[in-house]
Each structure stands twice: as structure tokens, then as C-alpha cells.
Amino acid sequence: MLDSLFLPVYTSTDQITASVYLVCSLASLALGAVIAFAAGFRSRQSKSFMLALLLIPVIVQMVIMLVNDNVGAGVAVMGAFSLVRFRSAPGSAKEIVSIFLAMATGLATAKGYIALAAVFVIVISLIMIISTYVRFKEKDDLVRELKITIPEDLNYAHEFDDLFDTYTKRSKLLNVKTTNMGSLYKLSYEVELKSEDNVQSFIDDLRTRNGNLEIAVLLPAVSEGVL
């Protein structure tokens, strides 16, 4: 039963007929729609990217069918595909995975392995969908950007060391600049908190040191899974 998944609807020695081409093309479009749905599930994707995921399998399938074991043509096609990368903006990890999944699907349907391609796409798509519900706890989840405004007469070098030892696992001074005609300093730190529950107490203790001037605790500005 399972062995039938690995049997193609046609072999490389067979002539590609209109019915075979139609079946493979419809399978590529259907699986492309599944990939597009999984990639866009609970995430914001552009209309052009979703359309690309829909059409990539059938386009790759057409190219591979035309190559049909011709080594020279295959090398030329690989070179043409590699040029696409240089005209593309950097994408997220999920987008890269979706594109590779669409291309692999096109390769499988081009060789007639429709059932295998369907199982492959369904399994990977389910994993992508399930991953949107699972939150992985990462070390960077407690990393924050801390901005403190202090008066010019406050020696900031070691003024907050005891508070950092109490509320953070590590801290690093990133930037110092003057403001308000040089009467104030603005300090920027990168800190890793011990717990999110103590942020308010941390801010209150900092306020007693900086004369109740401005304090901000921000999430670091990073891109989501960019490759």
C-alpha cells in the first residue's frame, strides 16, 4: 500500500501525453495552493508572494518536463534559477522554506510522483501551521533596551551597578549622548532581565537614582527570522 506512493504516474522512458501533463499540472496547482495557505496562515504575506507560491510548483514542473534527463539543459536551468536570487529581497526563514517546498513539489510532480508530493506537502504544511500555535521560549525573550536620562552631575559609570546585579543577568552600555544643552545625559543599555515580573520595581528603583527623569524599557528592534 505504502509502496504505491513511490510509483510515478509515468516513467522517463514514456512519452508525455496531454492527460499526464494535465494531471501533473493540476496536482502542482493544488499543492501550490496548500503551500500558499500554510505560508500565509496567521502571518502577514503579500499577494504577490502568495501568487508566487501558487505558481512555482507548476512552473518548475514544466521546466523539468522539458529538460527530461538532458544534462546540458539541466545545468542551464540551474544557472537560470540561481539568477533569481540576485533580484530578490532578503526574506524571512518561513518564506525561504516555503519557496524551497514549492520548488521541491514541482520537481516531484514533474517526475510523476504525485502521491508522494501530496504527502510531503501535507506533512510539511501541517508542521508549519502547528508551529504558529507553539511559542518557543528563547533566551532573547528577556533582552530589552533600557534608556535612562540622568542629570549631568551624576556619575553614571557605576551608579546603577547594584540595581543591574539585582534585576538583570547582564547589562551593557551601548550609547551615551547629551541633551537639553548639555544639562542631561541619555544612556542606552542592552540588558537581559531576570524576570519580566520585576520590571516595574526595576524602573521605580532607577527613578530614585536619576531624579525621576525619563526612563524607557523597550523591546530590541530586530527582524523576524530573516535569512
Averaged over successive runs of 10 residues, the pLDDT of the chain (227 residues) comes to: 70 77 93 94 86 91 78 63 56 82 90 91 94 71 90 89 93 92 92 90 93 90 52
In angstroms, what CA-CA distances link 69 with 75, 98, 115, 117? Answer: 11, 26, 22, 20
- Measure CA 124 to chain center: 15
Residue tagged 542592552 (cell numbers): 190
Length of the chain counted residue by residue: 227
> What local confidence, expressed as pLDDT, does residue 124 receive?
94
Euclidean distance between CA atoms 30 and 217, whole angstroms:
47
> What local confidence, expressed as pLDDT, does residue 156 receive?
87
* CATH 3.30.70.240 segments of the chain: 139-218
Euclidean distance between CA atoms 121 and 201, whole angstroms:
49
Pairing of strands 184-193, 143-151: antiparallel
0.85 surpassed by pTM: no
> What local confidence, expressed as pLDDT, does residue 53 receive?
92
What is 139-218's CATH number? 3.30.70.240
Euclidean distance between CA atoms 198 and 196, whole angstroms:
5
